[in-house]
Amino acid sequence: MLLGRSDAAAPRLNVKFEFGEPVMDPFENVPNTDFNRESNRQKMLAALATWKPRLNREYPLVIGGQRVTTGNWKPSVNPSRPSEVIGRIAQADQTAADRAVEAAPRAFKEWRLVSPQERASYLFRVAEIMERRRMELSALMSLECGKPWREADADLSEAIDFCNYYGKEMIRMAENVRRRDIAGETNEYYYAPRGVVGVISPWNFPLAILTGMATAAIVTGNAVIMKPAEPACVIAYTLLEMFEEAHLPPGVLNYCPGPGSVVGEILTKHPKVAMIAFTGSREVGCRINRVAAETTTSQPALKKVIAEMGGKNATIVDSDADMDEAIKGVVYSAFGYAGQKCSASSRAIVLEPVYEQFTRRLVEVARSISAGPADDCGTFVPPVIDRRAYDAIRKYIEIGKQEARCVVDGDTNPDVLRLRKETAAGGDEGGYYIGPTIFVDVARDARVAREEIFGPVLSVIKAADFDEAIEIFNETDFALTGGIFSRSPAHLERARHECECGNFYINRKITGALVDVQPFGGFKMSGIGSKAGGPDYLIQFCEPRNVTENTLRRGFAPTPETVGAVG
């Protein structure tokens, strides 16, 4: 069944009245786990323990519902203890990737005809499975991707929200088909699926972002080939298993990890892949967009690309800001999950009258932040994801030391020094630990103030006045997130309209967007496409159709059934 072609009754809307105006109840986000409760901490510890005997298992490709191996395996390791192998991942080669691109179109032919309500039901089942396995999945994210407990749990909550939200949005789209009839003619406008969607996902939100892109494609009637980031392949395989448990038809979702130079290139270039949904680096996203635009004679249509490519996000601290709130918001946004979020605040733009006060207090707080293994309950700053990231971040720290004044050096953090020593003594390469690093007196054109670092590195920039603060805010290539701490109504109004970013936060941290509450996404070099978790996200995975029918006809042509009935 095509999108919008549903015979089911429209769902009842729960409507309440406030101040005489009808207001629809909003989407309900699932709550995060309260780890302040001892019982929840014990459950998480038990879940971590259940993964110990499951380490170093082999995870094959899954293509058309069949397990496939290529003979080439790559370990996915724990960034807290790099000698600990979470799983051995089968790597797709050219043959396997081509097989996936052949299997997905076959599944699409049947899947596109399934009603939107039934497609949504699979997402609701997966959401239930995720909730039931909450601690197990959070524990896996802590082990494979180095996410501290609360970050992993929030990632899981977001994944559940994507399943529920996109399922409900699909039903809303299908059962609110636009009709405009005129005399003697009916006109119907609805949405149909595109075909095969290549989903290329990141490691920093290993379950949430992958789930969001994959479920959006699935619920709109497309078939999906998942190419997860290399450090997050066990999590991606587990998502595939949950869809299997929900009895999703084989081939609708395919699991195809492997080198980007192989799998990513094939998905981007193949004429049978109608669309690419990507989240990752600017470099890779720009290449995907460029290569996908190069049409071939065998390609039936232009390839659609949506891409989220990161940011160089800033928080403005006004001269009248609540300093306690500003410090807390900047620290959480800059150093949570070791700054490994595309929404992280990597610049603090501080008005001159409070610059010294802000930097002094910021340094005191940063020096007290705990670093440690992600599976330790008390960890705030975990290790960065792998050796390549570790080397790249430390290179930027050295650049920063030439460009500005380093007032908090992550390499001298006592926790970091101890952890590197302990993991190295245990046979690891030292663990990928980098402590919070702060540069002050940073020039607005410095590299550390302009280039995305993707680690726990914060540049503090002085602004002479509010005009200059907004100028500095906007002079990067990115436009993803940002925020301001201020008590001036005039400045808040200006910032709301003049600061260029997709998600702008006032007097709060700039990370932690919620599905439906804060649909997420940016523009400029932060990406292309509508916001994830928003009301127009699913439309990107569809082709709009319009059907016009002349109703001034002289009856219907007879069929064998009607002829028999007349006879």
The residues near 36 (Cβ < 8 Å, ≥ 6 apart) are none
pTM (two decimals): 0.92
Active site annotation includes 308:
yes
Q: Which residues of 231-296 form beta strands (DSSP E)?
A: 253-255, 275-279
Percent of the chain with pLDDT over 90: 85
Average pLDDT, the chain: 92
CA distance 155 to 207: 7
235, 253, 306: which is closest to 123 by C-alpha?
253
User: Is 123 within 8 Å of 219 (Cβ atoms)?
Assistant: yes
92, 285, 276: which is closest to 196 by C-alpha?
276
Strands 478-479 and 405-408, by their bridges, are unpaired
CA distance 103 to 223: 9
Q: At 213, list the tokens.
A: 């892109």
395-401: list long-range contacts, CB under 8 Å, 24+ apart.
396/447, 396/448, 396/451, 396/453, 396/455, 396/457, 397/434, 397/437, 397/457, 399/447, 399/448, 400/437, 400/439, 400/442, 400/446, 400/447, 400/448, 400/457, 400/459, 401/439
Q: CA dist 115 to 45, 129, 162, 170, 408, Å?
A: 42, 22, 19, 10, 57
User: Is 32 within 8 Å of 153 (Cβ atoms)?
Assistant: yes
State the pLDDT at residue 421: 78
Q: CA dist 103 to 97, 106, 432, 465, 481, Å?
A: 10, 5, 39, 59, 38
SS3 518: coil
Q: Which CATH number is 15-24+44-176+188-309+526-547's, of 3.40.605.10, 2.170.150.20, 1.10.10.10, 3.20.130.10?
A: 3.40.605.10
The residues near 438 (Cβ < 8 Å, ≥ 6 apart) are 362, 363, 366, 406, 407, 408, 457, 458, 460
15-24+44-176+188-309+526-547 and 313-506: identical CATH topology: no
SS3 46: helix
Domain ranges of the chain: 15-24+44-176+188-309+526-547, 313-506
Active site annotation includes 406:
no
pLDDT tens by residue, 280-293? 999 999 999 999 99
Q: Is 53 exposed, middle or buried (0-12, 13-18, 19+ CB in 10 A)?
A: exposed
State the pLDDT at residue 411: 82
Of the residues 145, 163, 233, 342, only one is catalytic, namely 342
The residues near 421 (Cβ < 8 Å, ≥ 6 apart) are 430
3-state helix, strand, coil in the chain (%, to 5): 40, 20, 35
Across the chain, which has 567 residues, the per-10-residue mean pLDDT values are 37 40 67 97 98 96 97 96 95 96 97 98 98 98 98 98 98 91 92 97 98 98 98 98 98 97 95 97 96 84 95 98 98 97 98 98 94 94 95 96 96 82 70 94 97 97 98 97 98 98 98 96 96 97 95 72 57
How many Cβ atoms sit within 10 Å of the Cβ of residue 353?
13
Q: What CATH code would you report for 313-506?
A: 3.40.309.10
133, 142, 158: which is closest to 86 by C-alpha?
142
Find the Cα–Cα–Cα–Cα dihedral 188, 189, 192, 197, rounded to 10°.
180
User: Is 205 within 8 Å of 89 (Cβ atoms)?
Assistant: no
Find where tokens 């949430």 sit: 208
SS3 115: coil
State the pLDDT at residue 129: 98
462: Cα separation from own chain's centroid: 32
Strands 15-18 and 21-24, by their bridges, are antiparallel
Please name the residue ranges forming H helices in 430-559. Answer: 447-450, 466-474, 489-498
Of the residues 308, 403, 452, 500, only one is catalytic, namely 308
CA distance 455 to 452: 9
State the pLDDT at residue 324: 97
